Amino acid sequence: MTGNEGDKGGSSTIDFSSSYYVHPSDSPKQPFVNEVLTDGNYNDWVREMTNFLFSKNKTYFIDGTLKKPENSFPEYKPWMRCDAMIKGWLTTAMEKGKKITAHLEKQQLYEFLMGLDNDFNVIMTQILATKPVPTLGTTYHMVAEDERQRATSLENQATLEPAAFKAFQKRDFRPTKGKHTAKQEKENKQDDE
């Protein structure tokens, strides 16, 4: 708002073309930018935010053309009000982007966990019980580590089983046909008794 010095009675007129003008419907927590800022859409988001700020006649605050006035200047308070409004718009747009990104990552995490075999039920339960829920990258690492440990454990069992099986076979081996030594015959007779 600017005062028109030629007016009688001290009334003021609103200069809608002023960069300091804030429409009554403007609010710091209500961004009108549809594009949510994510890692992959920065250029699109900047273009849409710039268009929004241009439509509100606030690009001069962002590009540095309209510098912050000193405290004693009459434009100081209107400048601060506009600055706070713009910061609110930017912050709200970025917070919305963070929330959506977090939601999408959580959804990907659940899809990943639901795609695992039943062999991973224990680690899946541990991951879901963790507060806060770990990121998708951390979860993937935990599942891969669990799988590696189980593979190592199965590998160790596989090497032990054949050795035990061979020992079991040697002990119970009784040839039924063919030539036997006297010692083998004597051992077989003692085993049968």
Q: Tell me, yes or no, whether 110 lies in a domain.
A: no
Clarify whether residues 58 and 93 are in a common domain: yes
Q: Which of 124, 159, 160, 163 is nearest to 140 (CA)?
A: 124
Clarify whether residues 10 and 81 are in a common domain: yes
Clarify whether residues 96 and 145 are in a common domain: no
Whole-angstrom distance, CA of residue 125 vs CA of residue 83: 48
Q: Tell me, yes or no, whether 150 lies in a domain.
A: yes
Confidence of residue 138 (pLDDT cuts 50, 70, 90): very high
Question: The pTM is what?
Answer: 0.54
Residue range 25-45: average pLDDT?
Answer: 79
Q: Tell me, yes or no, whether 192 lies in a domain.
A: no
Clarify whether residues 65 and 152 are in a common domain: no
Give yes or no for a cis peptide into 74 (omega within 30° of 0): no
Segments in the chain forming alpha helices (H): 42-55, 59-62, 76-114, 121-129, 136-172, 182-192
| Number of domains composing the chain | 2
Residue range 47-51: average pLDDT?
Answer: 90
Clarify whether residues 97 and 156 are in a common domain: no
Angle between helices 136-172 and 121-129 (to 10 degrees): 150
Q: Which of 48, 47, 52, 30 is nearest to 96 (CA)?
A: 30
pLDDT at 113 over 50: yes
SS3 2: strand
Could you list the residue range(s) of the whole structural domain that residue 141 is in?
A: 116-171
Clarify whether residues 5 and 59 are in a common domain: yes
Whole-angstrom distance, CA of residue 140 vs CA of residue 138: 5
